[in-house]
């Protein structure tokens, strides 16, 4: 989905989003609330510049509202093909730019801004870790592509035949791309169908406190070990709960 | 071999933990006898490890209580799967709950374990948030990067979310590995077989000069130990939590980096621009000589 169509569906009461070189930002109205919106478009590879541009917007939002109430929620709109695969980005320390973006989002959360993410097209590996996966809750559209890599590439690297991976993917969400699998594993809170504006308002009203993904993954049966391992370590137990 | 001479690079994760922390102080959480293995690798007929490639527990360091994690590069390159990631998250959450003064992360990893792709990706993001939650609870989180597999992928991001990073020259810190970039963008973009270029681009000296790591030491367990103690003390002398001022400063540094070096194509040019007189000699210097030559010119890390 292109970002204009998406923005019109999410913000029927209006928005002032603008896009420059795949960097999307602006202010929008969701129900009675004014929210800050930041993200990327056109399956943008995340290089140092666009990571820093997103961080700048988040920092600016925090700075402008320091000491004021209410603090506007931040909506991250995710469409990325992953981190940019260039020598230059590595030379400049792209991991530091990604970490910086993640830390700015974390600061915003701690300063009282709710942070919601929506994967409206693609969310691939490195570009997703510091955007959607840093939100209080990450949502996805049903047609979104979410993955680390496709099954053919996974087959090449793991030396497991692709056909076998396809079979396994039907029962184990760990292997296959797609929002439904991330939903089962707790990485995606919910999939939005129908009235997007209403679902955004609802999401802003029900933001979870803390990182609930390991618990969700267990409840939904998509990640059956994470929460038990965490709990065993927290409790000082040498055995996992059954 | 004299204990002082032991190579950090050549030690296993368990050897590092034994030798780096106070003698006999390390107590492992979910040890191999617990048999907590990856639930996914077996389906792919891949080997499993009884610690899933990461050792976590508590220890003392210079008499101070710390928590520690060490990734084993010899098992799937230290990559993060569901159980591996959950052990790191559990350790960090427990450190926050118990107000442990510091967590030391001995990272050596290619990032997400592709055999458990989706679970690994979510796990890395959970580790990232757990690091920041621990910091907010007053825990100093320090990364040591000196293993032969480097610190790559999402864990390269996690490392930069910790309070401080200590590297050796042999340590590497980046996001996408040279092979990945070469495969995706061609050998003219990044020749992964040009070892000198790989080290210049991802190695400890370049990271130190750019301000992405706070200390650089020789490849020895004893030196990493001393630097870890120092880094923890430095972190605990100020707030361990994220703050607006710190992030504004980091923002300015990262912005300046693009302006000054964004048009360059080799780290040698960056080193020269930083005022290093003979950049070509930098790779030859030992850690002490390097720090003497570089510390006045490096960009301020935070």
Q: Is residue B94 part of a domain?
A: yes
CA distances from A203 to A24, A30, A76, A207, B266 (A): 21, 11, 13, 6, 46
User: Does residue A218 belong to the interface with chain B, where contact is any CB pair within 8 Å?
Assistant: no
Q: How many domains does chain B have?
A: 1
Closest CA to A84 of B92, B233, B190: B190
Distances (CA, A) of B24 to B7, B15, B19, B229: 19, 12, 9, 17
Q: Which residues of A touch B94 (CB under 8 A)?
A: 233-234
| Domain containing residue B103 | 3-173+213-241
> How far lies A134's CA from each of A76, A101, A218, B89, in Å?
10, 9, 20, 15
Q: Residue A12 class from Cβ within 10 Å (0-12 exposed, 13-18 middle, 19+ buried)?
A: middle
At B93 the pLDDT is: 98
- Contact: A95, B156; criterion CB under 8 Å: yes
pLDDT tens string A41-84: 999 999 999 999 999 999 999 999 998 888 999 999 999 999 99
pLDDT of residue B127: 98
Q: Which has the minimum average pLDDT: A20-34, A101-115, B72-86, B177-191?
A: B177-191
Q: How far are the Cα atoms of A29, B151, B166, B237, B240 from residue B231, in angstroms, in the given order?
A: 46, 19, 8, 10, 12
A239 contacts on B by Cβ (under 8 Å): 34
List, for residues A194-237, the tens digit of each pLDDT value. 999 999 999 999 999 999 999 999 999 999 999 999 999 999 99
Q: Which residues of B touch A233 (CB under 8 A)?
A: 29-30, 56, 87, 90-91, 93-94
- CA separation for the pair B175, B117 (Å, rounded): 16
Pairwise CA distance, residues A15 & B290, whole Å:
53
Question: Between A and B, how many residue pairs show a Cβ–Cβ distance under 8 A?
Answer: 254
Do A141 and B111 meet the contact criterion of CB atoms below 8 Å apart? Answer: no
Q: How far is B163 from B234, CA to CA, in rounded Å? A: 10
| Domain spans, chain A | 3-141+192-207
| Cβ–Cβ < 8 Å for B243, B231 | no
The rounded distance, in Å, linking the Cα atoms of B259 and B255 is: 6
Residue range B225-266, pLDDT digits in tens? 999 999 999 999 999 999 999 999 999 999 999 999 999 999
Please indicate, yes or no, if residue B250 is contained in any of the structural domains: no
Inside any domain, residue B248: no
Contacts of A117 (CB under 8 A, 6+ apart): A75, A76, A77, A78, A131, A132, A133, A134, A135, A137, A138, A139
pLDDT at residue B302 in the model = 40
pLDDT at B167 over 80: yes
Contacts of B117 in chain A (CB under 8 A): 147-149, 154, 174-175
The answer to whether residue B274 sits within a structural domain is no
Min Cα–Cα distance to chain B from A163, Å: 12
pTM, two decimals, is 0.97
CATH number at residue B137: 3.90.226.10
The strand pair at A137-140 and A115-124 is best described as parallel
**CB-CB contact of B91 with B103 (8 Å):** yes
Between positions 47 and 106 of A, the ones with CB within 8 A of B are 48-49, 52, 55-56, 59, 62-63, 66, 83, 85-100, 102-104, 106
Does some domain include residue B278?
no
Is residue B272 included in any domain, yes or no?
Answer: no
Determine the topology of domain A3-141+192-207 in CATH: 2-enoyl-CoA Hydratase; Chain A, domain 1 (3.90.226)
- A136 and A114 Cβ atoms separated by less than 8 Å: yes
Question: Shortest CA distance to A127 belongs to which of A169, A174, A95, A175?
Answer: A95
Let me know if residue B81 belongs to a domain.
Answer: yes
Average pLDDT over residues B61-68: 98
């Amino acid at each position: 989905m292109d970002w204009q169509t998406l923005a019109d569906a999410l913000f029927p009461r209006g928005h002032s989003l603008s896009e420059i070189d795949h960097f999307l930002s602006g202010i929008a109205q969701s129900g009675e609330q004014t929210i800050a919106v930041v993200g990327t478009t056109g399956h943008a590879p995340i290089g140092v510049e666009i990571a820093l541009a997103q961080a700048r917007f988040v920092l600016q939002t925090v700075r402008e509202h320091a000491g004021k109430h209410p603090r506007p929620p931040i909506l991250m709109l995710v469409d990325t093909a992953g981190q940019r695969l260039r020598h230059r980005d590595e030379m400049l320390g792209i991991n530091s730019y990604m970490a910086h973006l993640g830390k700015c989002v974390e600061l915003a959360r701690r300063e009282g801004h709710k942070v919601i993410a929506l994967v409206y097209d693609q969310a691939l590996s490195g570009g997703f870790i510091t955007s959607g996966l840093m939100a209080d809750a990450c949502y996805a559209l049903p047609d979104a592509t979410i993955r680390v890599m496709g099954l053919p590439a996974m087959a090449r690297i793991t030396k497991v035949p692709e056909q076998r991976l396809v079979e396994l993917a039907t029962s184990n969400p760990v292997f296959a791309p797609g929002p439904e699998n991330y939903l089962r594993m707790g990485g995606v809170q919910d999939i939005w169908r129908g009235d997007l504006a209403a679902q955004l308002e609802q999401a802003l009203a029900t933001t979870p406190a803390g990182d609930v993904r390991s618990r969700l993954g267990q409840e939904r049966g998509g990640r059956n070990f994470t929460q038990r391992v965490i709990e065993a370590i927290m409790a000082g137990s040498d055995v996992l709960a059954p | 071999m004299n204990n002082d001479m032991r190579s950090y690079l050549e030690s296993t994760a368990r050897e590092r933990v034994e030798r780096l922390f106070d003698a006999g102080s390390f107590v492992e959480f979910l040890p191999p006898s617990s048999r907590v293995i990856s639930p996914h690798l077996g389906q792919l007929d891949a080997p499993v490890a009884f610690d899933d490639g990461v050792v976590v527990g508590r220890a003392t360091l210079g008499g101070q209580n710390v928590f520690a994690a060490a990734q084993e590069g010899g098992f799937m390159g230290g990559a993060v799967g569901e159980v591996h990631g959950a052990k790191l998250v559990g350790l960090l959450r427990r450190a926050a709950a118990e107000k442990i003064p510091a967590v030391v992360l001995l990272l050596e990893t290619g990032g997400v374990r592709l055999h458990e792709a989706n679970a690994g990706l979510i796990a890395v993001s959970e580790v990232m948030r757990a690091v920041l939650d621990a910091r907010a609870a007053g825990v100093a989180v320090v990364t040591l990067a000196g293993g032969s597999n480097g610190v790559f992928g999402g864990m390269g991001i996690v490392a930069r979310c910790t309070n401080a990073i200590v590297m050796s020259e042999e340590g590497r810190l980046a996001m996408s590995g040279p092979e990945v970039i070469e495969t995706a963008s061609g050998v003219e973009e990044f020749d992964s077989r040009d070892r000198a270029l790989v080290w210049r681009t991802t190695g400890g000296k370049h990271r130190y000069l750019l301000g992405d790591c706070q200390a650089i030491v020789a490849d020895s367990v004893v030196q990493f130990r001393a630097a870890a103690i120092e880094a923890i003390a430095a972190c605990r002398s100020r707030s361990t939590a994220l703050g607006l001022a710190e992030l504004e400063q980091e923002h300015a540094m990262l912005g300046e980096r693009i302006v000054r070096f964004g048009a360059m194509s080799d780290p040698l040019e960056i080193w020269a621009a930083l005022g290093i007189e003979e950049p070509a000699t930098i790779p030859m210097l030992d850690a002490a000589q390097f720090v003497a030559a570089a510390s006045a010119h490096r960009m301020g890390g935070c």
